[in-house]
Amino acid sequence: MLHLLFLLSGCRVSRFIPENDYLLTGTSIKSEGGRVSKDELQAYMPQRPNSKWFSLVKVPLGIYCLSGSDSTKRFNRFLRRFGEAPVIYNRQHSMQACSNMQLSLKSQGYLYSEVYLHERPKRNRMKISYLIVPHERYYVRDFRLNVEDAALRLALDSLGYQPAMDKEVERENRIYSLNALEAERSRLYGLLVENGYYNFNKEYVHFRVDTTIGSRLADVEMVVRKAQNEADSTDLSHHRFSIGNISYEFLRDKSFLRPKVLRHATAISSGELYRESDMHETYARMSRLSAVMATNVSINQRTDGSDTLDVNISLTPNKPNSFSVDVEGTNSAGDLGAALSLTYQNRNLFHGSELFNIKLRGAFEAIRGLKGYADQNFIEYSIETGFTFPDFKFPFLRPSFRRNAQATTEINLSFDSQDRPEFHRRVLTGVLRYRWTRKNRQLQYRFDLLNIDYVFMPWISNTFREKYLSDPTNRNAILRYNYEDLFIMNWGCHFVYNSKPLGPTASNYGTDAYTIRLGIETAGNLLYGISSAADARKNADGRYTLFNIAYAQYAKFDFSFCKSFFINKNNSLALHAALGIAFPYGNSDVLPYEKRYFSGGANSVRGWSVRELGPGSFRGSDGHIDFINQTGDIKLDLNVEYRTHLFWKIDGAAFLDAGNIWTIRDYPEQPGGQFRFDRFWRQIALSYGMGLRLNFNYFIIRLDLGMKAINPAYTDARHHYPVIHPRLKRDLSFHFAVGMPF
C-alpha cells in the first residue's frame, strides 16, 4: 500500500508545468528573534504546495498526473476531478502576501516591521520563504475614553463599563494592537445592544492614536460619537429602547399554536429593555418547535417619539403529519432475514408543537444449524410511541427557570417481543426524560426522572435451560441472571460541556476545543428502602421482589473527555479518554446485561470487533467471542487520532487506541477479568490502524481498519505482541459506522 502511494506521488509532473514557470514545492515563514507567532501569518500565504496525505505523500497530485494531455477524454477528466492540479508558483501573489503580512504585523503593534521574500528555484521547482523582521513593538502609554453623549456616559458608568486597557497597570500588558482596539469596540457595542440601545452600531466608535511621542509609545483616545438621527432632528443623543407590543402573524394557517406556547418560545417581553441576544434566542426557540417551518422577527420603532419598539413575529407552519416505511435486510452469522418498519409522526398534536410518533416494526430471520432445538425461526415485533413537549412538564419550577431554559420533556413507551428457538423474551420500557440548555448551549443537561425496564421470559427451551442454566458444571451467574425475569427502575443525570459556545451568536472558528461528558445513574435504591422499611420477605435467592420479580440495584458513573488540536485547515489531532464504573450492590450481585460495559468495535479499541475484548486477560470460549462473559463493570478507553483531508469529500485518519474492561468482583466464569491495581496496566490492549471518512458535512460515513498491537488475552510473545508477529486473519478488524468515533 505504501509503495503504491509513493509511486503515485512520483508520477511525472513536469509535463504539466508551463515553460519558464515553476512548481511550488515548499513554503516557510521565519521570524527574526522568534517574537512573532508564525501560525497567525500562515493565513496570508495565497499559495501552498500540493497537499500530502498524512503530511507525507502527494497522492492527489499523483492521481492528477496519471491523466493524459487530452482533456476531452472522459477518463482523463475523471482523474483530474479527483486529483489535484500542480500548484504553479505566482510571484505576484507572494509579493502581495508580504504586504498583507506587514499590515497584520502593524495591527499587532509592530509599526515598522518588514517582510522579505526569498526564492530558491531549482530546475522547474520553487521553494520560497518569508523572513519576518518585526523590529520593536509599540505599547500604549495613555488610554482615554471620550463619550460625546453625556447621558450615554452616565449610562456606561451605571453599567460598570471600563475599557480593558484601562485595567492594565503594567506597560507590558498594554500592547498597542488594532486587534485589541477592535475587540474593545465590539465589547462596548455588545454591552450597549444588550441594554436597550437598539440603534447603536460600531460605526459610532473610532480611535485617535498619537505615535509621535517617541520611545515606542502611543496615546489612544477612544471616541464614542453622538447619535445621527433623522435629518430634521436636533436630538443627537443615543436612546434606550424598551419592548412594546408583541404580535404574532400566522402564514397559511390561522393560529396553529396556542398562545402559551408562543409566549414561552418568545425570549422577549413587553416592558423590558431591548436585548439583541433575546432576539437571536427567539429565533432559536421558534426554530426548535416542530410545528414551525420558518420564522421572521421584525422590529418597528414607534413614530410617536417614544423609545418603544413593537415586535411582530410571523410564523410559517410545518406539515403536521408524516409517514415513512423502512425495509431492511439482516444477516446474523449467515442467517438471512428481513425487517419492516412503519413510522407515523404528528408535529402539532395538541396545537402546542408536541411531537407524537409511533413506530411499528416486524422482523423475521431463518435460523439454521441449532442442534437440540425445535425447528423454529426468529420472529420479532415491537411498538414504540412517544411524546416530546417543547417545555418543562414538571411542577414547582420557578417561572424564571422555565423562561431562560431551552427545554423539552420526553415520554416514551415501547414493547418488544422476541421469539427464538432457545427462548421467548418480552421487554416493556417506559421513560420520562427532560433535556435543557441555556442560551449559549455550552452546558447541556439530561435528567431521566424515571426509566423503567421490565424483562419477562415466558418460555425457555429445555435444551437451553439444561445446557446453560441448570447444568451444575456450568453455573454461570452472569448468564443465569440475564435469563431471569428482571425489573429495573432507575434515574440518571447526564451533562455535556463544550468549551466553545454553540449559540446563534457564537464564533466557532478553528477546532481547538474540548468536550466533557458526565453521566450518573442509579437504580433500585427507592425500592430497596421501601422493602427494608416494610420488612418485606426475600425470595429463595435472598433478594427483594416487586410483583414477584427481583429488581436490580446498582450505581453507574461515566466520564469522557475529548479535545481536538487545530494544525491547519486540512489537518487536526484528536485526543479522547473515557472511564466508566458500574457497581451492583444491595439487591444485585451482577449488573443487568444492558448496563454492562463491552470493549472493541468502531468507537472503542478498533483492533477488536464489538464485545471481543476483555474483561482483563479473559479469553472467550476457544478464542471466540463470548457475548455474555466478555462484558464488565469497568471500562477504560484512550484514543489518539490524526485526521487529514485527502481530496473531494474524502478524509483520512490514522489512529492509536488503548483500553479494556474489567469486573469488580471475581467471577469464576471470567478468569483474569477482575480489576486489580497491581496488574490492570498490563491488561490494557493496544491497536493501531487507518481509516477513510466520506464527509458530507451533515453526516459522515466511516470505514476503519484496525490491527491488534498488544493482546492481553495471551501471555506468549507471539500472541501477546501481534505488532511484532502480525497475522491479518487473526489481527485485522474492519469497522463500518456513521459519524466520528469521538
- Give SS3 for 439: coil
Positive or negative CA dihedral for 370, 375, 378, 383? Answer: negative
Q: What CA–CA distance (Å, rounded) separates 681 from 579?
A: 14
pLDDT score of 625: 59
Backbone angles phi, psi at 308, to 5 degrees: -130, 140
Amino acid residing at 37 = S
**Burial profile 116-153: b = 16 or more Cβ within 10 angstroms, e = fewer:** eeeeeeeebbbbbebebbbeebbbbbebebebebeebe
- Give SS3 for 372: coil
Q: What CA–CA distance (Å, rounded) separates 626 from 80?
A: 49
Backbone angles phi, psi at 220, to 5 degrees: -120, 130
pLDDT score of 346: 96
Closest CA to 487 of 546, 535, 412: 546
Query: Contact 388/409 with Cβ under 8 angstroms?
Result: yes
pLDDT score of 698: 78
Per-residue pLDDT of 314-347, as tens digits, reads 999 999 999 999 988 765 555 678 889 999 999 9
Query: Contact 275/195 with Cβ under 8 angstroms?
Result: yes
Instruction: Set out the domains of the chain in order of their start, with CATH numbers.
Output: 2-133 (3.10.20.310), 139-224 (3.10.20), 242-317 (3.10.20.310), 421-585 (no CATH), 596-742 (2.40.160.50)
CA dihedral 713, 716, 720, 723 (to 10 degrees): -160
Amino acid residing at 297 = V
pLDDT score of 378: 86
pLDDT score of 706: 96
pLDDT score of 230: 61
Per-residue pLDDT of 229-256, as tens digits, reads 665 567 789 999 999 999 999 987 777 8
CA dihedral 675, 681, 684, 690 (to 10 degrees): 150
Q: CB burial class (10 A; 0-12, 13-18, 19+) of residue 325?
A: exposed
Q: Which residues of the chain have pLDDT under 70?
A: 1-11, 167-172, 229-233, 330-335, 369-372, 374-375, 398, 400, 402, 471-476, 501-511, 621-626
